[in-house]
Amino acid sequence: MTTIRVHVIPNAKIDKVAGEHGDAIKIKLRAPAIEGKANTALRKFLAEKLSIPQRAIVLERGERSSDKVLRIDGLSEEEVRSRLRATI
């Protein structure tokens, strides 16, 4: 289990990992930031990129913010960051 910081940019043209934002991972999502759509899209996107089930990703903080803290079960922080860097 690990905790990571993510900076989400909603309403992007495509879903992608866009590098880093300070010590957070910057992710662009097509989903709008309304009614939790971006949060749902974020969990789905990360589950696909990390090859883990969506239930292993828990939004701990930042439900209404672009800066989020996620708990990811089953992977270390190094594994998460290396898998996401491979998709850039």
For the domain that residue 78 is a member of, what is the CATH number?
3.30.1200.10
> Where would I find the H helices in 2-88?
37-50, 77-85
pLDDT category at 88 given cuts 50, 70, 90 is confident
pLDDT of amino acid 36: 93
Average pLDDT, rounded, for the chain: 96
Q: What value does the mean pLDDT take over residues 24-53?
A: 97
What is the reported pTM? Answer: 0.94
Q: Are 57 and 43 in contact (CB under 8 A)?
A: yes
Q: What value does the mean pLDDT take over residues 54-66?
A: 97
Beta-bridged to residue 20, according to DSSP, are: 25
Number of structural domains (the chain) is 1
Q: What value does the mean pLDDT take over residues 38-50?
A: 97
Residue-range definition of the domain harbouring residue 57: 2-85
Exposure class string for 59-74: b at 16+ Cβ within 10 A, else e: beebeeebebebebee
